[in-house]
Structure 1
Amino acid sequence: MKHIQMRTRLCETLGIHAPIIQAGMAGGITSPSLVAAVSEAGGLGTLGAAYMSKDALRQAIREIKTRTQRPFSVNMLVYDPPERPLAASPALIEWVNLMRSEVGLNSWDGSIPDDEEPLDGCFNVLLDEQVPVFSVAFSLPGKYGAAAKSAGMKLIGMATTLEEARLLEAEGVDAIVAQGGEAGGHRGTIALKPGEDGAVIGTLPLVSLLCEALPHIPIIAAGGIMNGRGLAAALLLGADGVQLGTRFLACTESLAHPIYKKSVWNAKETDLTLTRAFSGRPARGIANRMTRTFAERNLSPLPYPLHNQLTREIRAAAGRLSAADYMSLWAGQGAAQLNHVDETADEIIRAIVEEAGLLVSGKTI
């Protein structure tokens, strides 16, 4: 396959041909075929490893390797386990049971879910399988970053402020994702305080700030970028590349539920909201009955990832029912620009690079 090339410092750092990273969308969206297709097209495909078991993660990594010899990334959401004991408020129990009843589930008794599988086990799979690039959100890379660097992996961190970017710089990351407020899915805020949404700075000012303050580190613009115009704008701001999630969310290789894809295709620019209804952490997605009732009741969620486990059965039932009102429809502020067409990952990479190339060379689109 002939790669479309647009070389930047990020390409040199990661060994890729186009400065485009497919975001590590967790929850079973980033299929091995999607990750491999992005990498084969010249970008950096990313497997969203959050919520995967060790065995499933190992199997997915090995399948990616059978589909491409190009670099790819695995993204982990790194967090400190919630302190216990914990108790859910009567108001939260009432809301959860209302949502459960509306999708045909039995009532929840208020007992707190168990913790997720320890992160150490999943990270060890990355070491065993010699993953080329390791990316982190929610936290500084810490011991995982140090181990990844020692193993020869490239390391990418996510920042929502300049302070976070400086902390990542001190830990020796190879590149930083500047996550603007327009980005879909979870906010990557480090050390998020309970009840707060963290910084929600626009992509343009955040990218400009980080590029000026940290000129020696490749900066990756993320948030609201959907096409070649977004890539060209990011490069003109000083970024070395872009990270896109929403554009790939609806592509042929994505495993997103058909109703999820349809919801994103039909979304208006006014339909997006920031919510903690599904996981306990702030995340941007399409507003629905779950997000609206959670906000109307002014509820306090359980800490992440316990709240995410609390709503898991509701989301699973919604999938079986094709009920978008009870799904976590993560999407970025650029969703309204998405055309209702079936695109392959390869077509997306090629279209973005071609459009951006014409723009930065001064030609009219």
Structure 2
Amino acid sequence: MWPDRRIQELFGIELPIVQAPMAGPTLAEMVIGAARAGALGSLPCALLSLEQAHEQCRLIREATDQPLNLNFFCHRPPAPDPAREAAWRERLAPYYREFGLDPAMPVSPSNRAPFDAQWCELVEQQRPQVVSFHFGLPDADLLQRVRATGARVISSATTVAEARWLEQHGCDAIIAQGAEAGGHRGVFLSDDVSTQVGLFALLPQIVDAVDVPVIAAGAIGDARGIAAAFALGAAAVQIGTAYLFCPEAKISPLHRRALFDAREDETALTNVFTGRPARGIVNRLMREAGPLSPLAPAFPLAGGALAPLRAKAEAAGAADFMPLWSGQARYRRELSTYELTRALAREALALIGTRAS
């Protein structure tokens, strides 16, 4: 038996595992595999249009009746900053010339859709069992509408202060995101990531500070990590990078190769791809322009000017200008999402039972 069943009971799932909503790599196929295995399947909506999100939900609902988590970013759209945009374009100009591109060429703006009234209507229509947020929570009126659907609400905390804030504002559970985790930091009370705490230091402090159940996230990809998280008070774990090795992950061959080849010390927090700190495998742009650059425009605008460079480099077989999101631990098991989820749960329960005896 699992030592803490609060998350299973709260979400109506069999296993205390949340498949991380990784925008880009995660679409219906991965969500279905995780849900069928007994985990909480999570669909990230930040890179989808409303129409695409509805279609993905349709595919998921047709394949499984298990609980579904819809995930949203709730950042504030940045104010225009022409000077910063110009400085970023100037920093990238040598790369443009290297690839035979005009540094002044027009580029399409990069976009990540924040949670708003339209997305709230999606929640009201789809009625997922769980709605998760990144970068805090939406405005109170929108959050009230979400809760009125009956959905459980969760969000990420990178500090004890953020965890307390989320509990005070009505979260049913909190994701403790350690510094090891791949992808974007969930920070929202501070912009400073220089002092971000590792998961196994952060987790017990958040568990002690709040009354709601806590989900551990960051470098968990095998039975040992799951068992350790439970030993430190977690009621569930959220797993991301380990699922990137599954065939359902929608990542490029270049990203997949980097995941296999990178050493354990070859990830870093960077803002050069989106304007907001996120952990990925170090590549040329991160080494030469970052990893954290004061010139990068505010989230999510930094990526627009990179698109032509990324296209040229990828065509040449290089991942120099694309984000290679990854946590610090990469457990390379090329199983289906379903098989990996079941294996992790089985192995973790065996380890927890052995330690308990």
Task: Establish whether TM, by shorter chain, passes 0.5.
Answer: yes
SS at match of 2:59: helix
Post-superposition offset of 1:113: 3.6
Once the two structures are overlaid, the 10-residue window that deviates more, 234-243 or 133-142, is 133-142
Does 1:168 pair with 2:160? no
| One-letter identity of the residue aligned with 1:230 | G
Equivalent residue number for residue 98 of structure 1: 94
CA distance in 1, matches of 2:256, 2:11: 30
Does 1:197 pair with 2:193? yes
Does the aligned pair in 2 maintain the 1:30–1:47 contact within 8 Å? yes
Corresponding residue to 1:260 among 255, 259, 271: 255
Post-superposition offset of 1:49: 1.0
Does the aligned pair in 1 maintain the 2:16–2:39 contact within 8 Å? yes
Corresponding residue to 2:12 among 12, 15, 34: 15
| One-letter identity of the residue aligned with 1:197 | V
Post-superposition offset of 1:296: 7.8
Calculate the TM-score normalised by the size of structure 1.
0.89
What is the total number of aligned residue pairs between the two structures? 354
Does the aligned pair in 2 maintain the 1:86–1:112 contact within 8 Å? no
CA distance in 2, matches of 1:58, 1:16: 23
| One-letter identity of the residue aligned with 1:154 | R
Does the aligned pair in 2 maintain the 1:33–1:67 contact within 8 Å? no
Equivalent residue number for residue 351 of structure 2: 359
SS at match of 1:362: helix
Post-superposition offset of 1:343: 1.1
Equivalent residue number for residue 216 of structure 2: 221
Cα root mean square deviation, aligned: 2.5
CA distance in 1, matches of 2:344, 2:291: 40
Q: Where in structure 1 are there 5+ consecutive unaligned residues?
A: none
* Inter-CA distance 115–326: structure 2 relative to 1 (3 Å threshold): closer
CA distance in 2, matches of 1:68, 1:105: 47
Does the aligned pair in 2 maintain the 1:189–1:198 contact within 8 Å? no
Corresponding residue to 2:341 among 338, 342, 349: 349
Post-superposition offset of 1:324: 1.6
* Inter-CA distance 202–363: structure 2 relative to 1 (3 Å threshold): closer
Equivalent residue number for residue 80 of structure 2: 84
Name the % identity.
35
CA distance in 1, matches of 2:187, 2:56: 27
Calculate the TM-score normalised by the size of structure 2.
0.91
CA distance in 2, matches of 1:148, 1:117: 17
Does 1:126 pair with 2:128? no
CA distance in 2, matches of 1:107, 1:63: 42
Equivalent residue number for residue 243 of structure 1: 238
Equivalent residue number for residue 40 of structure 1: 36
CA distance in 1, matches of 2:157, 2:247: 30
CA distance in 1, matches of 2:346, 2:233: 19
SS at match of 1:309: helix
Post-superposition offset of 1:169: 0.4
Q: Where in structure 2 are there 5+ consecutive unaligned residues?
A: none
Post-superposition offset of 1:57: 1.2
Post-superposition offset of 1:318: 4.4
| One-letter identity of the residue aligned with 2:177 | Q
Post-superposition offset of 1:127: 1.9
SS at match of 2:131: strand
| One-letter identity of the residue aligned with 1:40 | R
| One-letter identity of the residue aligned with 2:279 | R
| One-letter identity of the residue aligned with 1:256 | I
* Inter-CA distance 282–14: structure 2 relative to 1 (3 Å threshold): same
* Inter-CA distance 220–297: structure 2 relative to 1 (3 Å threshold): closer
Does the aligned pair in 1 maintain the 2:157–2:177 contact within 8 Å? yes
| One-letter identity of the residue aligned with 2:198 | G
Does 1:24 pair with 2:21? yes
Corresponding residue to 2:267 among 263, 269, 272: 272
Post-superposition offset of 1:303: 0.7
* Inter-CA distance 357–118: structure 2 relative to 1 (3 Å threshold): closer
Does 1:49 pair with 2:45? yes
Equivalent residue number for residue 152 of structure 1: 150
CA distance in 1, matches of 2:55, 2:324: 26
CA distance in 2, matches of 1:256, 1:111: 23
SS at match of 2:83: coil
* Inter-CA distance 44–105: structure 2 relative to 1 (3 Å threshold): farther
CA distance in 2, matches of 1:296, 1:189: 18
* Inter-CA distance 87–315: structure 2 relative to 1 (3 Å threshold): same
Does the aligned pair in 2 maintain the 1:132–1:154 contact within 8 Å? yes
CA distance in 1, matches of 2:53, 2:301: 21
Does 1:281 pair with 2:263? no
The one-character-per-residue Cα deviations of 1:60-98 (angstroms, maximum 9, x if unpaired) are 111111111101111111111112353236542123233
SS at match of 1:310: helix
Does 1:185 pair with 2:174? no
Does the aligned pair in 2 maintain the 1:286–1:329 contact within 8 Å? yes
SS at match of 1:353: helix
Corresponding residue to 1:65 among 61, 65, 68: 61
Does the aligned pair in 2 maintain the 1:96–1:108 contact within 8 Å? no
Does the aligned pair in 1 maintain the 2:77–2:114 contact within 8 Å? no
